[in-house]
Amino acid sequence: MPDTATTGAAPATEQLIPFPADFRTRAIETNGTTIHVRFGGSGPVVVLLHGYGETGDMWGALAAALAPDHTVVVPDLRGMGLSAKPDGGFDKKTQAGDVAGVLDALNIEKVALVTHDIGNMVGFAFAALHRERVTRFVLIDAPLPGVGPWEEILKNPLLWHFRFGGPDMERLVEGRERIYLDRFWNEFSAHPSHFGEAARAHYASLYASPGAMRAGFAQFAAFDQDAIDNQAFLAAGKLTVPVLALGGEMSFGLTMAEVMKFAASDVQGAVVPGSGHWIMEENPAATVALVKAFLDAG
């Protein structure tokens, strides 16, 4: 697919911060699927990986801040956004292969990682499998399956959706994707009004596309395998790359750093003030400042 100009991904909305006008998009066939990628800027490479309930579109403000002195690469994860919706491969070790394939297609070797939610899990698998390719790593507001207090975290009733999936659940949610997703945007926000209506409509329309909700459920269904894989990664040794573990003040907070100390030897923690889980919606300015300062220190 030829490169094209982009301001994110259709449908565009006024509340989503657009990517810089000179960013391009490309559909990259790799690892048995097709990954939709936005990229632009110049300098050392930063890969931004989104989580569930959003797509790569969440990173518009950070991409704009980084592009003057970084090359920024923003995939939609397998099964999400404008990427293909394959039948399988939703374990995070396989999705780390998607990221490697994207980078290889773009002739990129070394990268810094900035990840959120499910993106943390994919990024960790990539960093564990390709330790020589990762220079710095920012993980934001989600734990890693099988790492540290994972079993205790699973007991939180707010996380019932980790076990919600399958054909009957798909039928229940079909045509009601916005109702299902509003629950996440509301309950995981410090202030639900900060996750704007236009952004909600945008993401709900993407998650209502054929196969998208099935793929989303599959991301969670893979957690048991992800826990097994992560334990194997840790048996090979903790990550030694510098890690910034960010948590929303009204979400994981400094617990993110405590979790990551089980998985990495060089961890610093920080808190996004006034924010719940949706850091780029709730406090993008603070998130951008914290991430940029950490990357610039490398």
State the number of CA atoms in the 13 A half-sphere of 167 facing the CB: 0
In this structure, how many other beta carbons lie within 10 angstroms of the beta carbon of residue 182?
16
At 170 the pLDDT is 84
pLDDT in tens, 26-83: 999 999 999 999 999 999 999 999 999 999 999 999 999 999 999 999 999 999 999 9
- pLDDT surpasses 60 at 9: no
At 4 the pLDDT is 35
Could you give the CA distance from residue 44 to residue 133 in angstroms, rounded to a whole number?
12
At 42 the pLDDT is 97
Share of the chain above pLDDT 70, in %: 91
What average pLDDT does this structure show over 121-133?
A: 98
- pLDDT surpasses 50 at 5: no
pLDDT in tens, 96-109: 999 999 999 999 99
pLDDT in tens, 136-186: 999 999 999 998 876 777 767 666 676 666 787 888 899 999 999 999 999
pTM given for the model? 0.92
Domains and CATH numbers, the chain: 4-296 (3.40.50.1820)
CA–chain centroid gap for 198, Å, is: 20
* Helix axes 118-129 and 223-235, enclosed angle (nearest 10): 30
- pLDDT surpasses 60 at 3: no
